[in-house]
Chains A and B, each alone.
Chain A
C-alpha cells in the first residue's frame, strides 16, 4: 500500500497552480492552469454556479450552486462533489470567515444572510438583511461581516460575535461586491447601477471617498462596477466594469483611476495567480477569461471557457 502511494506521488508531477472559474450557464467549473493558461479540466457541478472560494488550506472548494439552492463542497484533486451544505435559498456569493469554519452566505431570494458551520454542516444563524443580498466581505480580524443588498442599496455591518447587524450604510444603486482594505481600516463597496465604488471608514462607517469611472467612447450607463480585487500590497485595485468590457486600474491611495484595460464582454469577477503577476477576469457574455499582465497593466491573452463564466478563485497546489 505504501509503495503504491509512493508510486502515485512519483507519477504525479508537481502540479501548477490553478484558476477555477464557475460557468453560470453550463453548470460547470473550468479549471485553468495558471502557468500554461490552458483549460485542463471541466468539472460538473450543481445548477447555476456563481460564488466560489477555497478553504484556507485548499483542501476543499466551496461553490454556490444558486439554482440548486446549495453550497457544494468539492474535492479539488478529483473534482468530486463531496457533499452539500445547507445554504438557504439561492446562494449567490459568500465569504469564508478567517476561522475557516464559518461560511457567510448571501441568499439572494430570501433577503437573508445564512451562517453555516462547514464542519458540523449546520446553519448557525440566519440574519435578515436588505432585499437581494449579494456582496459579502469579512474584516481581517473576523469581527465584522458585510452583506450588501442590491435592491435596498445598503451595506449591512454584521457583528460575528452576536450574528446581528450593528450598522447599515446607504451606498449607491445596486451594490454588488465589497472588500475590506488596508488592514480592515477601509471598506470598499461597488455599485453596479450607481457606477461607483464607495470607500468607507470602518471605524465609524462614514464615507471617505467615491470612485467614479469614465471611459471615452463607452456609454456611462454601461459602466457597471461589479467585482474588484486589490494587490497584496493594497496599492492597486482592479475593478471589473461589467458591460463596459473594461477593467479599471485604481491607485488605492489616491482613489484615482489610472487606466482602463479592454477585456471580453460583461466582465464580472477576477482572481490573481499566486505571485500576482497575472489577473484572470471572467467575461460573462463572451464566455472567456482574459488574462491581464499586472505589471504591464495590459491584457495578455483570452482563454475560452464554459458559457457565462462568473466567479473565479485561485487554487494553490503546493
Chain B
C-alpha cells in the first residue's frame, strides 16, 4: 500500500509540475513543431531518393522526421524531468523523498515512470498537432507506438537519472545540453537516415549506429507503422538496463556521489 501511495505521490508531483509549468509544456511542443513546420519545409524533396524500411514508398521529409521529433520530445523531457532531481537536491525536497521507508530503487523507478508518462503524453499531443497539419499515420500506428514510446522514454529518463547523480548544481544543465542532448540528437537517425550519414562519413555513421537514441527513434519509427524492430528494441532495453544500473549506483548511499556530499 505504501508503495502505491509513494508512486502516486511522485506521479502527482510530476503531473503537477507539468500542469503548473505551462510554459514548459508549450515549449516542449513548440520545439518539435518548429522543426517539423519550418526546418522540414526546406528539405521537402531531400529524401525522395531511396526507400528504407519501415517505409514502402517514397516519403516527404516531414514524414521522415516525425519519429525523430517524437524522440526529441522524449529526450528533452527525460533529461528535464530527471535533472529536476538536482533542483530537488538543492532545495531539500529530495531529502524528504529519500526518507520514505521504501527501497531507493523503487523511489527512483517511480520517478522514472512518472517522468516517462509525462513524456509520452507530450508526444501524443505533438502527433495530434502534426495531424492537424496533415501529417498523419494509419490509426493502428498510433496504438502500436505506445509501448515503443514508453520504453524509449524510460531509457532516456534513466540516462537523465544517471547524469543527475553526477551533477552538483542545476547550472550544469547547459553542459548537459551541449554535451549530451545535442550530440545525441544530431548523431542519430532522427534527422537523416543512417545511409545518408554513411555517404558523407563512416565515422559519423558509426557514432550514429551506436547511439542508443538512434535505436529508440528507430523503435518508434517502426512502431508508428505497426512494425516491429527487434534489434532496436534489444539495444534500447540494453541501454535502459545500463543507464538504470548507473543511476542506482549513483544514488547508492554507500557508493555514489551522495555520500561524498553528505
Contacts and interface: CB of A to CB of B under 8 A. Distances in A.
Contact of A301 (B44, B45, B56): B56
A244 to B, nearest CB: 9
Contact of B44 (A217, A286, A300): A217
A231 interface: no
B58 A299 contact: yes
B51 interface: yes
Interface stretch (A70-78, A197-205, A257-265): A257-265
B45 A290 contact: no
Interface in B10-48: 41, 44-45, 48
Contacts of B41: 217
Nearest to B59: A262
B57 interface: yes
Interface range for A: 10 to 19
Contacts of A218: 44-45
A263 B45 CA distance: 11
Contacts, number: 33
A262 B51 contact: no
A245 B58 contact: yes
Contact of A302 (B44, B45, B58, B60): B58
Which of A262, A291, A301 counts the most chain B CB atoms within 10 A?
A262
B44 A245 contact: no
11 contacts: A217-B44, A217-B45, A245-B48, A262-B57, A262-B59, A290-B57, A290-B58, A299-B57, A299-B58, A301-B56, A302-B58
Contact of A300 (B48, B51, B56, B60): B56
B56 A216 contact: no
5 closest A-B pairs by CB: A217-B44, A301-B56, A302-B57, A299-B57, A262-B58
B56 A302 contact: yes
Interface of A: 216-218, 245, 262-265, 286, 290-291, 299-302
Contacts of B44: 216-218
A215 B57 CA distance: 19
Contacts of B59: 262
Contacts of A291: 57
Contacts of B56: 300-302
Interface of B: 41, 44-45, 48, 51, 56-60
Contacts of B51: 302
B54 to A, nearest CB: 12
Nearest to A216: B44
A290 B48 CA distance: 12
Contact of B60 (A262, A264, A290, A301): A262
Contact of B57 (A217, A265, A300): A300
A286 B45 CA distance: 14
A37 to B, nearest CB: 9
Contacts of A217: 41, 44-45
B45 A245 contact: yes
A95 B45 CA distance: 35
B37 to A, nearest CB: 12
B130 to A, nearest CB: 16
A22 B48 CA distance: 23
A264 B45 contact: no
Contacts of A262: 48, 57-60
A264 B45 CA distance: 11
A286 B58 CA distance: 10
Given A263-B57, A302-B58, 7 more contacts: A245-B48, A262-B59, A264-B48, A265-B48, A286-B58, A299-B57, A302-B57
A286 B41 CA distance: 23
**Best-buried of B41, B44, B45, B60 by chain A (most CB within 10 Å):** B45
A264 B44 CA distance: 14
Nearest to A299: B57
B26 to A, nearest CB: 27
A303 to B, nearest CB: 9
A301 B57 contact: yes
Contacts of A264: 48, 58
Nearest to B56: A301
Contacts of B48: 245, 262, 264-265
Contacts of B58: 245, 262-264, 286, 290, 299, 302
B225 to A, nearest CB: 12
Contacts of B60: 262
A214 to B, nearest CB: 14
A194 B45 CA distance: 22
B133 to A, nearest CB: 13
Nearest to B43: A217
Nearest to B58: A262
